[in-house]
Structure 1
Amino acid sequence: MAIKVGIAGARGLSALMGFRSIEGVEVTALCDLDADYLDAQARKYGIPHTYRIFEDMLATDIDAVVIATPMQLHVGQTIAALQAGKHVLCEVTAGVTMDELWWLKETVEASDKVYMMAENCCYIPENQIVNRMVEEGLFGTVYFGEGEYIHDIKALAIGNRRNPEKTSRTKTWRHYWQLGKRGAFYPTHSLGPVMKWFKGDRIQSIACMGTGWHTAPEFRQEDTSITLCQLESGKLIKLRIDCISNRPINAAYYTLQGTEGCYEAPRGLGDTHKIWLRSMGDKADQASWRPLSDYTRYLPDRYKQASAEQQQAEHGGSDFYIVHDFIDAIRNGTPPAVDVYDACEWTAVGLLSELSVMNGGRVMEMPDFRGANAYKDQIIKL
């Protein structure tokens, strides 16, 4: 089954190597508003067709679309693509309003095409090792996890990233849709991998509180926001989002606690991924961390067999495996790795956190996107 792919937005070019590694898959179209950049990238990567208007690309014979445009465009473009008969791999977040998430869910359910959200942090090799160890029961019953996204992006809110030599003070989309929001506006990188470890569970409620405005009060986003997610099982996930504070990046910090062991990602300065398991035999008062690298036997085979080029793909090789899972879903009917229900729930954490933080940390009930069948199921309860 030959598959032609169109990419909307330059961010989507990170998936190019993955597509080109699959027999019968070809990236034939690239769409971007910046005409000069569009032409330059198409020539650089040998993409034959270019478009500045998204709908013009949809009108061609492509079979699938990668949506890597600013987040406020994701739902509108996804719906247009699905209604045009195209499969969709969409960058995070899934949408920017609760209404958009319901529109997305309803459109995907009415379509016979694949929708998958491209949450690449689920594919980080260390997260995959932990995932397999959870499946094998090595941590016992897991009941607490953490995810943090700490990344100073203030500089991305103003100016032209593609032409940094220009002195434009124009506010970018990030000024409004990211740093112009309160709460956990960008939750999926922190939440996605942890939710994968809580097999079959769902988020039942969230509560969010912020630090106030200290570093850059010109932005609506507070320095740090902490969001607690109570799962239907009663288990707990804590998220920290900080895109304002002046500090080094740590965009992929996670922890997991179970009855038989625990895991922590590195904090920096020589730290490493580490675990402790009761099966190691340490006495309770002498427990000590061991490197996660001692457990690479739990890494999925496709990671072990990856070429050096594949391992160098963006985001720790994640963008390579996302593409393969997307194409597998199209060709073989394999469930998408992050389906529309996961995409809506993980995204809704950020949207509900804004209401929570503006109401003193009020607990907000999470709708059941998978189980909602009527408009009465879409009510947000205060």
Structure 2
Amino acid sequence: MTIKVGIVGARGLSTLQGFRSLPDTEITALCDLDGEYVQEAAREHGIPRTYRIYEDMLDSDIDAVVISTPMHLHVPQAIAALHAGKHVLCEVTAGVTMDELWWLKETVEASDKVYMFAENYCYIPQNQLINNLVKQGLLGDIYYGEGEYVHDVRRLAFQFNRAGSGERNAPTWRKYWQLGKRGNFYPTHSLGPIMKWMEGDRIRSVSCFGSGWHTDPRFRQEDTSITLCQMESGKLIKLRTDCISNRPLNASQSLQGTKGCVEGPSFLGDGHRIWLDSMGGEPEQRTWRPLSDFNDYMPERYKNATEEQRNAGHWGGDFFIVEDFVNAIKGLQKPAIDVYDACEWTAVALLSELSVMNGGRVMDMPDFRKSSSYADQIIKL
């Protein structure tokens, strides 16, 4: 049976090649409010049907929806899809309010359909390699992780004025839902891989501190926000988000364990490096090795990826996240990043905003997996 997929958000087609690289899957529909653009995108990519009204696409014969619209639409569209009997692969972040996360969790639990969170940084090959090193114990007991997402996106907060002035001065959704927020509004790229490396643990509390406003007074978002996540086990994760500062892109994770560490300066090329205590040497004599020296630990499916799969995006990551989603639909595995992961990782953003606005106050993370009453959902200052 062919799995028919519809995509809502015609400017977010990162999963397109992944679906086309799998047998028994087909992108049959594309939906976007911009009727002219959706027609153009569908023609370019050979997608047979287009929709401007999302509910009309849900009424069609598709089996699954990829949600790649602005983040404040993710929960309403995910809930509508689940109620319509469609599986959901949702881009990040999962939602924009704590209430939304509870609505999402409850809807998924009441549904017999798959919901999977499309945090593709978990699928970048180097991060999958690190995951295997962790699982096989080469780094010992992991107790600290550090993630950075540093990406000047200020130009994306404005679009060209439709009145024809030729100036990029009409605000987009990012002006409000990203750069109009304080705290770590976009944590999941940095956090997701580290949470996978600390599998089985959960975030107990969140605190956040901002640098103030120095670069661009148009935005409520501070130049840099530092967020600390204390784990249930006592382990620690530090996240930096900076989408304002004048500097090049950097998105990386670092990891410290009792037997070694990994530093990832950027995902733009193989700059990752590793040290293991099995390499020996006194502290002042220890030297790094390229992470690529350990490519034998790469998951087999990454080693055996075809050229088409590797070209799907994010060095093949965009193929493997789609493969896991399709396998979950087929009942071959559970969603690799489920609704509980989606809610917890996204809640870091929402709690960080409360924290930074209250002087870095420690905010308790609710347990989305175990909550059983509305009382469990209360966020206390």
Q: CA deviation at 1:362?
A: 0.1
Partner of 2:119: 119
Q: d(CA) in 1 for partners of 2:28 and 2:267?
A: 41
Q: d(CA) in 1 for partners of 2:112 and 2:312?
A: 30
Cα 1:288/1:177, change in 2 over 3 Å: same
Q: CA deviation at 1:160?
A: 4.4
> 1:3 touches 1:26 (CA, 8 Å); kept in 2?
yes
Q: CA deviation at 1:376?
A: 0.7
Q: CA deviation at 1:167?
A: 2.6
The amino acid that maps onto 1:151 is H
Partner of 1:89: 89
1:60 and 2:57 correspond: no
Q: d(CA) in 2 for partners of 1:267 and 1:83?
A: 40
Q: d(CA) in 2 for partners of 1:271 and 1:22?
A: 27
SS at structure 2 position matched to 1:13: coil
Partner of 1:298: 297
Higher mean alpha-carbon deviation, 22-31 vs 343-352, is at 22-31
Partner of 1:260: 259
Partner of 2:345: 346
Partner of 1:41: 41
Q: CA deviation at 1:111?
A: 0.2
The amino acid that maps onto 2:19 is F
Deviation sequence 1:35-83 (CA, Å, 0-9, x none): 1111111111111110001000000010000000000000000000000
Higher mean alpha-carbon deviation, 23-32 vs 103-112, is at 23-32
Q: CA deviation at 1:267?
A: 5.2
SS at structure 2 position matched to 1:6: strand
Partner of 1:228: 228
> 1:208 touches 1:228 (CA, 8 Å); kept in 2?
yes
Partner of 1:379: 378
The amino acid that maps onto 2:173 is W
The amino acid that maps onto 2:362 is V
Cα 1:48/1:371, change in 2 over 3 Å: same
Deviation sequence 1:260-298 (CA, Å, 0-9, x none): 000001259998210000011223331110000000011
After superposition, residues 1-382 of structure 1 pair within 5 angstroms as 1-160=1-160, 166-250=166-250, 252-266=251-265, 272-382=271-381
> 1:208 touches 1:357 (CA, 8 Å); kept in 2?
yes
Q: d(CA) in 2 for partners of 1:101 and 1:121?
A: 21
Higher mean alpha-carbon deviation, 119-128 vs 303-312, is at 303-312
The amino acid that maps onto 2:334 is P
Q: d(CA) in 2 for partners of 1:38 and 1:116?
A: 25
Q: d(CA) in 2 for partners of 1:109 and 1:49?
A: 31
> 2:120 touches 2:318 (CA, 8 Å); kept in 1?
yes
> 1:12 touches 1:66 (CA, 8 Å); kept in 2?
no
Q: CA deviation at 1:13?
A: 1.8
Q: d(CA) in 2 for partners of 1:273 and 1:189?
A: 17
Which sections of structure 1, spanning at least 5 residues, go unmatched? none
Cα 1:301/1:345, change in 2 over 3 Å: same
The amino acid that maps onto 2:325 is F
Deviation sequence 1:331-378 (CA, Å, 0-9, x none): 024111110000000000000000000000000000000010111110
Higher mean alpha-carbon deviation, 144-153 vs 328-337, is at 328-337
Q: CA deviation at 1:316?
A: 2.4
The amino acid that maps onto 1:361 is G
Higher mean alpha-carbon deviation, 285-294 vs 77-86, is at 285-294
SS at structure 1 position matched to 2:315: coil
Q: d(CA) in 2 for partners of 1:230 and 1:4?
A: 41
What is the TM-score of this pair, normalised by structure 2?
0.97
Cα 1:168/1:215, change in 2 over 3 Å: closer
Q: CA deviation at 1:309?
A: 2.7
Q: d(CA) in 1 for partners of 2:161 and 2:258?
A: 46
What is the TM-score of this pair, normalised by structure 1?
0.96
The amino acid that maps onto 1:80 is A
Taking every aligned residue pair, what percent have the same amino acid on both sides?
Answer: 69
SS at structure 1 position matched to 2:144: strand
Cα 1:366/1:270, change in 2 over 3 Å: closer
Count of aligned pairs between the two proteins: 380
Deviation sequence 1:227-281 (CA, Å, 0-9, x none): 000000000000000000000000x211000000000012599982100000112
Cα 1:6/1:364, change in 2 over 3 Å: same
Higher mean alpha-carbon deviation, 22-31 vs 172-181, is at 22-31
SS at structure 2 position matched to 1:33: coil
> 1:144 touches 1:257 (CA, 8 Å); kept in 2?
yes
Q: Over the residues paired in the alignment, what is the CA RMSD in angstroms?
A: 1.8
Q: d(CA) in 2 for partners of 1:204 and 1:67?
A: 29
SS at structure 1 position matched to 2:240: strand
The amino acid that maps onto 2:47 is I
